[in-house]
């Protein structure tokens, strides 16, 4: 908290700055207390430092949002002396090297433009459910055992993007875009059957994921935040040498929007509209893999409509009385979720007839709902 307080003091004193440094002292040896030594043993010196910096960054981000709204503040640090070596994760007696790099650039000709480039080698250590695999014993019975030779799944990420902030008609706007590519190795494939996830229990696949995310947000109406986003993603895997098939989370596309406005002539009433349109997810029959065939759920469509009424706030006389002096605003809201009562498919219930033919019966997500909310800002 002390360091977060110091960072916030610098943020307040430098309203035009975006980047604030939190770095180690100029010393060859790191801190030698018991807690730090334990962290060095588990994450390495640089890993312990990065975890500490991230904790400070989360605290600062929360405070900046509360105090300055959408102001951009970034916490940066340096790697030198004992933190030069990349973080190391210990996994079942195996040491995993996970180097990562990130570069940000703001050109002199336009301080409102930011470019980003990041890359890294990531590992995901297996947990219990991933270790389980089905094998045949000498009598032909299927038994479950743990695959002790299972490796961590590996991903090489490359991400390039940028932000552009500008003002139009006296209001703030921002466009953000990112492109990414991930090379995936040692994959442990899985299937989704309703809410049950079944892993193959072996490193039998390789794949890739690529996509584009674009978001445009700002004050389309003065004093309100709105945004629209568009995403494309293609995630594929080859299982045991098969042709490339989609991964369970390969949705294809997603378009989302959130728009706010005041009731004409009366700013105590706010209206908000939220919409989502996205591609269906790939589905397989129970106990069969994607390499054996799949189909996709129908397109996901949903529209939400909300109303908010300011009961008290601002210069209202009641805000100077008693308990209300401690409050900033009181809002009463009504939301209509899934306004058009669209039946979106979440999963399938499978039925097998006497001829061993399987039929998929859709399970639907919740239909139209009403929600009442009370928001009190202190």
pLDDT digits 0-9 by tens, 296-329: 999 999 999 999 998 888 778 887 788 888 888 8
* pLDDT more than 90, % of the chain: 41
Contact 318, 364 (CB under 8 A): no
Query: Does pTM top 0.85 for this prediction?
Result: no
Tell me the mean pLDDT in the region 371-376. Answer: 92
User: Which phi and psi (to 5°) does residue 280 adopt?
Assistant: -75, 160
Closest CA to 157 of 209, 110, 196: 209
For residues 208-218, average pLDDT? 95
Residue 87 has pLDDT above 70, yes or no: no
Interval 111-125: pLDDT, tens: 899 999 999 999 888
Q: How far apart are CA 114 and CA 107, in angstroms?
A: 7
Q: Are 213 and 188 in contact (CB under 8 A)?
A: no
pLDDT surpasses 90 at 221: no
Please tell me which residue, 262 or 186, carries the higher pLDDT value: 186
Of 91-100, 297-306, 337-346, the one with minimum mean pLDDT is 91-100
Q: Compute the average pLDDT of residues 198-205.
A: 92
Residue 313, pLDDT score:
81
Q: 141 pLDDT band (50/70/90 cuts)?
A: confident
Q: What's the pLDDT at 80?
A: 64
- Residue 40's contacts (CB-CB under 8 Å, 6 or more residues apart) are 30, 48
Instruction: State how far the Cα of 201 lies from the Cα of 144, in Å rounded to an integer.
Output: 10
pLDDT value of residue 239: 94
* pLDDT score, position 153: 92
Q: What is the pLDDT of residue 91?
A: 52
| Three-state SS letters, the chain | CHHHHHHHHHHHHCCCCCEEECCCCCCCCCCCCHHHHHHHHHHHHHHHHHHHHHHHHHHHHHHHHHHHCCCCCEEECCCCHHHCCCCEEEECCEEEECCEEEEEECCCCCCCEEEEEEEEEEEECCCHHHHEEEEECCCCCEEEEECCCCCCEEEEEEEEEEEEEEEECCEEEEEEEEEEEEEEEEECCEEEECCEEEECCCCCEEEEEEEEEEEEEECCCCCCCEEEEEEEEEEEEEECCCCCEECCCCCCEEEEEEEEEEECCEEEEEEEEEEEEECCCEECCCCCCHHHCCEECCCEEEEEEEEEEEEEECCCHHHHCHHHHHCCEEEEEEEEECCCCCCCEEEEEEEECCCCCEEEEEEECCCCEEEEEEEEEC
Considering the chain, what percentage of its residues have pLDDT values greater than 70? Answer: 94
- Specify which of 68-77, 88-97, 247-256 reaches the highest per-range mean pLDDT: 247-256
Residue 88 clears pLDDT 60, i.e. is over it: no
């Amino acid at each position: 908290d002390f360091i977060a307080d110091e960072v916030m003091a610098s943020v307040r004193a430098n309203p035009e700055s975006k980047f604030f440094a939190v770095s180690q002292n100029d010393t060859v040896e790191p801190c030698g207390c018991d807690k730090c030594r334990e962290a060095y043993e588990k994450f390495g010196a640089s890993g312990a430092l990065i975890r500490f910096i991230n904790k400070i960054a989360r605290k600062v981000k929360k405070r900046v949002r509360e105090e300055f709204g959408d102001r951009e503040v970034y916490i940066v640090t340096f790697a030198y002396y004992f933190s030069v070596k990349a973080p190391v994760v210990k996994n079942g007696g195996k040491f995993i090297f996970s180097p990562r790099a990130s570069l940000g650039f703001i050109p002199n000709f336009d301080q409102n433009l930011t470019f980003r480039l990041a890359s890294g080698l990531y590992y995901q250590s297996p947990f219990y459910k991933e270790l389980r695999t089905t094998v045949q014993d000498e009598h032909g019975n299927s038994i479950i055992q743990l695959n002790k030779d299972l490796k961590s799944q590996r991903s090489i990420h490359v991400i390039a993007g940028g932000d552009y902030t500008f003002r139009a008609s006296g209001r703030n706007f921002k466009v953000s875009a990112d492109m990414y590519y991930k090379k995936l190795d040692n994959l442990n494939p899985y299937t989704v059957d309703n809410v049950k996830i079944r892993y193959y229990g072996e490193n039998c696949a390789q794949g890739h994921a690529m996509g584009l995310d674009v978001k445009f947000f700002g004050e389309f109406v003065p004093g309100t935040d709105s945004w629209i986003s568009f995403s494309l993603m293609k995630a594929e895997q080859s299982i045991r040498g098969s042709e490339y098939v989609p991964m369970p989370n390969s949705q294809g596309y997603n378009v989302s929007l959130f728009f706010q406005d005041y009731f004409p002539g009366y700013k105590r009433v706010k209206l908000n509209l939220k919409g989502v349109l996205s591609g269906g997810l790939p589905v397989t029959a129970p106990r069969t893999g994607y390499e054996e065939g799949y189909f996709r759920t129908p397109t996901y469509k949903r529209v939400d409509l909300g109303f908010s009424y300011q009961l008290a706030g601002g210069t209202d006389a009641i805000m100077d009385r008693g308990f209300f002096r401690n409050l900033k605003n009181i809002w009463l809201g009504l939301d209509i979720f899934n306004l058009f009562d669209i039946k979106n498919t979440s999963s399938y219930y499978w039925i097998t007839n006497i001829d061993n033919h399987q039929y998929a019966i859709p399970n639907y997500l919740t239909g139209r709902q009403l929600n009442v909310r009370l928001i009190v800002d202190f």
